[in-house]
Structure 1
Amino acid sequence: MKADAGGVELGENPKSSTPRSGLNRGLSILDFILRLIAIFGTLASAISMGTTNETLPFFTRFVRFRAKYDDLPTFTFFVVANSIVSAYVVLSLPLSIFHIVRSTAKNSRIILIIFDTGMLALLTAGASAAAAIVYLAHNGNTKTNWFAICQQFNSFCERTSGSLIGSFVGIVVLVLVIFLSSVAISRP
């Protein structure tokens, strides 16, 4: 076949790679949007859990029962894990924008998948540990004499349960981000 002045063989579509890069660009835009959702979910979870406290009066106003998130190390780990993941996702946004501009970049996507997977593991560990404590707070465990505290500390339990929702949304979003990046890498 003959080639024209642009180096493209005659009879060949010069934009044959455009649909492939167009799909990768679309995946990169979706990746960016999902990262924004992950930021809001994890940051809202960290703030919600970090500001959770409730004080109940006992017989007198001088004796009070208090429930605070940092009374339980698991909740502290939850706040730290969500904060770290939120900061990581914010720091990964420029690379996500780079993938929108250069949709064929593969090495940076591989690095991003590795770090995304690590952050997914951290977030899953924090959310799972906090979910176990929230379950105990709601239901207790009569075999070990752990009583449910949610009848007394209703606001505390509602906020901790709500913060778990945002964290689990972040987990689902990170799974989708890893999947989208894997699809973009595997495309020829």
Structure 2
Amino acid sequence: MMILGENVNTLKVIDSSLRLFVVPLSLGSMWLTLTNHQNNEMYGKIEFSNLKGLKFLVSISAISAAYAVVAVVSSWVKNLMNKAWIFFVCDQVVAYLMVASGGSFGEIVYLAYNGNPKVTWSEACSSYGRFCGRLNLILALHLIALLCFFLLSLISAFRVFTRFEPPLSSKEVEDERT
């Protein structure tokens, strides 16, 4: 029985560590996005507020950082009700939001580097190299945070679904009836 307790504590430490790791990643990507701007004499100024996908990324990064802090604190509070289902649902929601914001952000990075000739959009990174370089760093931070939330989703699913017995097979049901 002691082994089970040690595994639970190890899982709790890993869970809390991942949640704490997400906070600086999310805050870093927010700060880099909010301060990312560049002037070009020929084309003008580009900044995060020009692109809705970047605004979405900032919002989701703020939500994920705030949720991670609240989840770490509440995971160590004993008097709260059973939180396994709450963490499971919230971890899933935040992970999906991170995927959605990563997808929209990835499209922005792709268009900045490649443009879209079908609608006569030219690539922007040759004119805004520093801006695009920071976009790559932001994308990397966001993907690492997304990976953390993916792992947190797996951990919370494990916690929820190990509390239940597996369903009976049809043979076991027949054996119980007789």
TM over 0.5: same fold?
yes
- Contact 2:36–2:47 (Cα < 8 Å) also in 1: yes
Alignment partner of 2:125: what SS? coil
Higher Cα Rg, which structure: 1
1:21 match? 5
Distance 1:176 1:106, change over 3 A: farther
2:64 match? 85
1:51 match? 35
Alignment partner of 1:107: what SS? coil
Equivalent position to 2:97, from 98, 101, 122: 122
| Per-residue CA distance 1:144-165 (angstroms, 9 max, x = gap) | 1010000010000111121111
Deviation of the 1:106 alpha carbon:
8.7
1:38 match? 22
Distance 1:121 1:131, change over 3 A: same
- Contact 2:88–2:160 (Cα < 8 Å) also in 1: no
Structure 1: 5+ residue stretches without partners: 1-16, 59-63
Alignment partner of 2:83: what SS? helix
Alignment of 1:91-130 (within 5 A): 91-98=70-77, 107-130=82-105
Paired with 2:34 and 2:108, the residues of 1 have a C-alpha distance of 15
Q: Larger helix proportion, structure 1 or 2? A: 2
Aligned partner of 2:110: which letter?
Y
Question: Taking structure 1 as the reference length, what is the TM-score of the superposition?
Answer: 0.80
Distance 1:182 1:106, change over 3 A: farther
Question: Taking structure 2 as the reference length, what is the TM-score of the superposition?
Answer: 0.85
Structure 2: 5+ residue stretches without partners: 164-178
Q: How many percent identity over aligned positions? A: 23
Equivalent position to 1:152, from 124, 127, 130: 127
Deviation of the 1:184 alpha carbon:
3.2
Deviation of the 1:107 alpha carbon:
2.8
Alignment partner of 2:44: what SS? strand
- Contact 2:60–2:97 (Cα < 8 Å) also in 1: yes
Paired with 1:43 and 1:33, the residues of 2 have a C-alpha distance of 16
RMSD of aligned alpha carbons = 1.9
1:14 match? none
Aligned partner of 1:159: which letter?
R
Deviation of the 1:50 alpha carbon:
1.1
